[in-house]
Structure 1
Amino acid sequence: MKRATPQPIVKGFSAESVLSRIMASTGIRSQSELARALGIGRQAVTDAKKRSHIPADWYLFLCRKYGLNPQWLESGMGPMYVAGNSDAPAALGSGTPGAHPEEFSYVPKVRARLSAGGGSLVVEEAIDSYYAFRHAWLKRKGQISQMRLMRVSGDSMEPTLRDEDVVLIDLSQTEVYTGKIYAVGIDEEIVVKRLDKKPGKLVLVSDNRQFYPPLEVTLHEGSNVRLLGRVIWMGREVL
């Protein structure tokens, strides 16, 4: 089963202040000029300002073209630009200005959480923020448009994944490879587990096997189990 596409509207901040930051950071001097840069009609900019709703694809286009930090553009917090010189993923706001913006792609972090022993969680896909990764690195890993970032909740995948880690999931990778880590939907819960296969069944394996034994789930038409995608990267904050 395919998951719904996140709503293409970023809310929670004044559209007028966002538009001001766009103009301050890009050299765009008017709403008409912004509309031309985005390839839209001027009325669309006026409407966005009135509704205080900025479409997410505007953020993506402007951030990629001008090398802007999406977090700064949306909220005014953090560095104005995204930068970095390595081939590894680059978190938002890292480094100093000067990176070529075309080197980066921006992956949405959604509010859905992956349960790793922390209990049932309601599935949401509202966009919470964006992370910048080097485009070439993402392209080698999978289908960029189908990638999402989610936060882990619980301890069943320790020591590999810890509570509050952030993981990058490619929703296009749904073929099961034994031992790889996947996001799996079960009813209204999303779990993150290593997978094994048996005839007509998936085996969900936790790395913390002392407290979380393997779980076998049956696959059939109308099943409440759906394979959402493969985990291809993880990041950890020092709290």
Structure 2
Amino acid sequence: MPVERNGVAALGAHAAGVGATQVVERMIDALGLATQSALARELGVSRGAISDAKAKNKVPAEWLLKLFRAHSINPFWLETGRGAKFLREDVVRENVADTPEQGRQGEYEFIPLVAARLAGGGGSAETSDRVVGYYAFRRSWLRGKGSIDDMRLMRVTGESMEPTLEDEDVVLVDLSQCDILVGKIYAVRMDDEIVVKRLERKPGKLVLVSDNRRFYEPLEVPVGDQINVEVLGRVIWMARELM
């Protein structure tokens, strides 16, 4: 298990292009099931949803996380077939607590890092929800931040949010927090692109504000049916690699 820093540990990036059919087969194997219908019941989805996932070659991250939480099935093994099939309790805990009681509460949630990039500058055309890795956060810390099931990690591209967010920073977005708090940072979809900005409001307009105001002026976007603008979620945490 990677060493924790500030309540979070990063897992290695997962292999790209993993076949959804193989992932579904590993799910069935790990659960000791006989059919795809039985897997659908375990996941709480329709059998058609599993067929669609295989046809689109895309397994929702929520399925992997649900099986991890319910059965300790290793998400990395599900996606790649490598590593341990199950993660023992002592593997997903970090024994860094000051007291036994704190240690018992020191469990982790695995939050997916998706391929979608948040553009700090021009829009990002990479909007895929394909999972490319996981970060492990302390559950107790996450509960104080928002809805764990709705959290996703994304990388930032560009310099418009410097110095707050720099190119290649990783941010944690809570997709359930879409109500605009003036001055907070959000992920926003504009047509087929995604940007990361501070948000402000004006009558009939959404104002997207960059921290790097020397080179990026605020963008006022009329809010209406003719323009596809959607607040995806609020940025609640960031991480930066120093090397």
**TM-score past 0.5 threshold:** yes
Asked if the contact 2:93–2:107 (Cα under 8 Å) also holds between the matched residues in 1, the reply is no
Which residue of 132, 137, 142 corresponds with 2:141?
A: 137
Residue type of the alignment partner of 2:207: V
Residue type of the alignment partner of 1:156: S
Give 5+ residue unaligned stretches, structure 2. 1-15, 98-102
Deviations 1:171-204 (A, max 9, x none): 1111111110001111111110111111111111
Amino-acid identity (%): 50
The whole-number CA distance in structure 2 between the counterparts of 1:210 and 1:77 is 48
Asked if the contact 1:166–1:234 (Cα under 8 Å) also holds between the matched residues in 2, the reply is yes
Which residue of 210, 223, 235 corresponds with 2:214?
A: 210
The answer to whether the aligner puts 1:12 opposite 2:18 as a matched pair is: yes
Q: Could you tell me which residue of structure 1 aligns to residue 181 of structure 2?
A: 177
* SS of alignment partner, residue 59 of structure 1: helix
RMSD of aligned alpha carbons: 4.0
Q: Could you tell me which residue of structure 2 aligns to residue 83 of structure 1?
A: 93
The whole-number CA distance in structure 2 between the counterparts of 1:179 and 1:223 is 22
Residue type of the alignment partner of 2:64: Y
The whole-number CA distance in structure 2 between the counterparts of 1:166 and 1:61 is 23
Relative to structure 1, the CA distance from residue 192 to residue 67 in structure 2 (aligned partners, 3 Å threshold; closer, same or farther) is same
* SS of alignment partner, residue 141 of structure 1: coil
The answer to whether the aligner puts 1:190 opposite 2:200 as a matched pair is: no
Residue type of the alignment partner of 1:130: Y
1:1-239 alignment runs, 5 A limit: 12=18, 15=22, 19=26, 39=42, 59-64=64-69, 70-71=75-76, 74-75=79-80, 81-85=91-95, 103-239=107-243
The whole-number CA distance in structure 2 between the counterparts of 1:73 and 1:187 is 33
Q: Name the TM-score, length of structure 1 as normaliser.
A: 0.67
The whole-number CA distance in structure 1 between the counterparts of 2:200 and 2:67 is 42
Deviations 1:97-143 (A, max 9, x none): xx869922222222111000154424222222222222222222112
* SS of alignment partner, residue 217 of structure 2: coil
Farther off after superposition, 181-190 or 131-140: 131-140
Asked if the contact 2:58–2:130 (Cα under 8 Å) also holds between the matched residues in 1, the reply is no
The whole-number CA distance in structure 1 between the counterparts of 2:94 and 2:106 is 12
**Per-residue deviation, 1:220:** 1.6
Asked if the contact 1:113–1:152 (Cα under 8 Å) also holds between the matched residues in 2, the reply is yes
* SS of alignment partner, residue 144 of structure 2: helix
Q: Name the TM-score, length of structure 2 as normaliser.
A: 0.66
Farther off after superposition, 197-206 or 75-84: 75-84
Asked if the contact 1:63–1:101 (Cα under 8 Å) also holds between the matched residues in 2, the reply is no
* SS of alignment partner, residue 136 of structure 1: helix
Deviations 1:71-95 (A, max 9, x none): 36544678964332569xxxxxxxx
The whole-number CA distance in structure 2 between the counterparts of 1:198 and 1:58 is 40
Q: How many residues align?
A: 206
Asked if the contact 2:115–2:126 (Cα under 8 Å) also holds between the matched residues in 1, the reply is no
The whole-number CA distance in structure 2 between the counterparts of 1:213 and 1:227 is 20
Residue type of the alignment partner of 2:94: G
Asked if the contact 1:62–1:68 (Cα under 8 Å) also holds between the matched residues in 2, the reply is yes
Residue type of the alignment partner of 2:149: S
* SS of alignment partner, residue 137 of structure 2: strand
Give 5+ residue unaligned stretches, structure 1. 1-9, 88-98
Asked if the contact 2:169–2:238 (Cα under 8 Å) also holds between the matched residues in 1, the reply is yes
The whole-number CA distance in structure 2 between the counterparts of 1:116 and 1:60 is 29
